[in-house]
Amino acid sequence: MMIRSFLLLSSCIAAAFSAGTFEFKETPGVVYGRIGGGAVMVWEYDLGESELLALSFEHFDTDGKFSVIMNIDANGIVSSGAGFPHASFTQPATLTLKPLQDSDAGDVKCTIYRTDGTSVSNSVSVTIFPDNDQKDVIITLKVSDKKVECGLQTIIDSDETIVVEVPVESDSGAPIEVNAFQKCGEGQENQIGPECTKGSGNCTFETSAGCHGFTEGLVTIRATVKHPAFDEAKEDTCSYTVQDMEISLYYKYDWMLACLSIVKKMVISCSLAEALTVLHELYNKRLFDMKFIL
C-alpha cells in the first residue's frame, strides 16, 4: 500500500511538472542579413499552466550597448524603442528588422514574462554584411589536373574523371554554401557529392564525365553559390561533349594522323617553331596527344 501511494505521488508530481513546463520550443539560431535587406527572427514558446504577461525584445550592439527594440503587453499592444523604427512584431513572438542597418549587428534578446512572475529568455546573434559581399561565380573544369574549356567543341571520354572547381569569394568570409550538379542530355539533373560550405578558397567536386547509361552527347555542369545574407544564389554552367571511349580513340587516332600531316607541311613551308605552336594549341584543346609522337 505504501509503495503504491509513493508511485501515485510520483506520477502526480511528474504530470504537474510536465504541465508546468515553461520554455522556448523554437529559436532563430544565428541570423545573417545584408544592409538594406531584412531579417526575420521567430521564437515559439510554451507557457505551461500560467498565462502571458508581456514580451520584450532588446538589442546589444557589437560594443555591448543596450537598447530596447520594443515591449509588447498581453493584449498585443506594442511600445517601440526610440532606435528601432524599422522593427515590427507578429504574434506570438516574431521580430522583423527591415531595412537592416549597420547598427543592427550584435545580439537580439527575446524575453517572455508570465503572470506568475517567471520569465524565460533567448539571445540570437545578428551578423550584417555589405550589399556587395556576394560575388559572381565561374566554374573551372579539369581533366587529369588540366583545365579544359567549356563548350560543345570540348570532347571528353565518357569514363574520364572530371573535377569541378568552384571559387568561394566574399569580402567578409561569410559561410557560403556551394553545390554542383550534372545533367546528361535531356536526363535528370543530379547533385555531385555533398554540399560544400566555406568562407573562402575553392570547393571541389569530382565525378565521371558521363552519366550511367549515357556515353555520348551533351553534358552540362551547374554550380550554385549561396551567401547566407542573400535570398538568391549565384550560379554558373559549363557544358562539354562526351563520347564512347572506343569511338573517341578512333577519332583521336584520325586526328593525330591529320595533325601530323599538317605539321609536316608546315615544317616544309614555314618553320619548326610555327609547327610546334600549332601542335601546342591542338594539345590544349585536347585534340592531339603529344605522347603519340614522343
Domain coordinates of the chain in residue numbers?
Answer: 20-129, 140-243, 247-292
pLDDT tens by residue, 67-92: 999 999 999 999 999 899 999 999 99
**Shortest CA distance to 221 belongs to which of 180, 162, 161, 167?**
180
pLDDT tens by residue, 37-73: 999 999 999 999 899 999 999 999 999 999 999 999 9
Task: List the CATH code of the domain at 20-129.
Answer: 2.60.40.10
For residues 3-18, average pLDDT:
39
Q: What is the largest CA-CA distance in the chain?
A: 114
pTM exceeding 0.75: no
Q: Are the beta carbons of 132 and 144 closer than 8 angstroms?
A: no
Q: Ramachandran region of residue 78, left (φ > 0), alpha (ψ -120 to 50) or beta? A: beta
**Shortest CA distance to 53 belongs to which of 114, 132, 97, 111?**
114
Write the class of the CATH domain 140-243.
Answer: mainly beta
pLDDT tens by residue, 126-176: 999 988 888 889 999 999 999 999 999 999 999 899 999 999 988 888 899
Examine domains 20-129 and 140-243 and report if their fold is the same. yes
Angle 263-294-292 from CA coordinates, rounded to 5°: 70
